[in-house]
Amino acid sequence: MKLTSLLKRNNKLAETAEQFKYLNGAIFQNGELPYFNEKLKACQKFPLKSSEIEILQINLGYMCNQVCAHCHVDAGPDRKEIMTKETLIDCLKVIKSCKIKTIDLTGGAPEMNPNFRWFVEEASKIGVADFIVRSNLTIIRANKSYFDLPNFFKKHNIHVVSSMPHWTKGKTDKQRGDGVFEKSIEALIDLNNIGYGKSDTNLKLDLVYNPSGAFLPSNQKDLEKEFKKVLFEKFGISFNNLFAITNLPVSRFLEYLIRSDNYEDYMHTLVESFNPNAADQVMCKNTISVGWDGNLYDCDFNQMLNLKINSSHNHIANFNPEKLSDRNIAISQHCYGCTAGSGSSCQGSIT
């Protein structure tokens, strides 16, 4: 059966309050596992404080051509939340005035926002050190209007970051949908053909690996070695870096954990793998996540949980870099996902 969003299925877990029932659930209430704030307190890292804002991660909308089994956004073709041009203009003002070093466009499929290309053109005129688009690859092959995306990316020196859960068709399609593997391979070849991921160009192509199940990613460097070897030997594909990202117990991945009776074991694994060094490097310290409606969050996960930022400067229209660089980060038990093992961020391992 084709997967649809939790929202479309009328699944209770589409509501954040329902998700928090589990994130604050019995295993934490009965003391079997410590709450995340207690864990931070025990190593003198509470409250978690932000530092200088370097990355603006902008969610252009929840609409997506794919419906991935683990998606923390609950994205899909049925989602109508799309960032308006007015909000995009506010983002441009912030990028210009606050000297943001990294722009990170995400979604959904960010390319499906009708103002995507206009925004990329305008933002590149301002000039940022690193301009990331999180492209799901299949969008490039989705229909004719997207076929020229690789050249568009190249023209604006976009750093392409794409998901690829495994080098085998079976595991990839199980997580991301039937046919995704083959389309992704075609898209990677297209990107390689114009210089992306090649050692003799500056066009960066990174892949994101999410485990396809209730387990953590292993060592990022080892996984990268394996991905590079197989993708090159089988398909002649090359890329720059592999980011190994832990799945956080949010939205569809949380629903999967509960349905498959893995939730408690997974939370145990995350808590037992808590790494205090990773807690010093979490991405929410130097990142602001902008929601499709312009609201600001500590990270994309907090956005999906509607966990508000601790600041009155909570919208892109009243963005204040100084105030936002000195805030207490909003946390809950899902945060264990970013501090487990080598740590996890949108740029992969952090220690």
Closer to another protein by Cβ: residue 216 or 258: 216
Closer to another protein by Cβ: residue 159 or 176: 176
Residues pairing with 296 in the sheet? 290
CA gap 67, 32 in Å, rounded: 34
* Smallest gap from residue 45 Cβ to another protein (A): 24
Closer to another protein by Cβ: residue 142 or 223: 223
* Smallest gap from residue 227 Cβ to another protein (A): 8
CA gap 21, 313 in Å, rounded: 28
CA gap 146, 116 in Å, rounded: 12
Q: DSSP for 14-61, please give it.
A: GSHHHHHHHHTSHHHHTSSS--HHHHHHHTT--S-B-----EEEEE-B
Closer to another protein by Cβ: residue 201 or 219: 219
CA gap 66, 3 in Å, rounded: 9
* Smallest gap from residue 269 Cβ to another protein (A): 8
* Smallest gap from residue 154 Cβ to another protein (A): 30
Structure tokens at 91: 């983002």
Closer to another protein by Cβ: residue 83 or 244: 244
* Smallest gap from residue 200 Cβ to another protein (A): 28
Strands laid side by side in the 296-297 sheet: 242-244, 205-209, 159-163, 130-134, 102-106, 55-59, 287-290, 296-297
Instruction: Give contact residues for another protein (rule: CB under 8 A).
Output: 166-168, 170-171, 209, 211, 213, 215-219, 222-223, 226-227, 268, 272
Cis amide linkage into residue 108, ω under 30° from 0? yes
* Smallest gap from residue 167 Cβ to another protein (A): 8
Structure tokens at 279: 């807690």
Cis amide linkage into residue 77, ω under 30° from 0? no
Closer to another protein by Cβ: residue 131 or 167: 167
CA gap 302, 313 in Å, rounded: 16
Cβ atoms of 107 and 64 closer than 8 Å: yes
**Side chain identity at 274, as an amino acid letter?**
F
* Smallest gap from residue 216 Cβ to another protein (A): 6
* Smallest gap from residue 221 Cβ to another protein (A): 11
Closer to another protein by Cβ: residue 149 or 237: 237
CA gap 202, 172 in Å, rounded: 28
Closer to another protein by Cβ: residue 115 or 218: 218
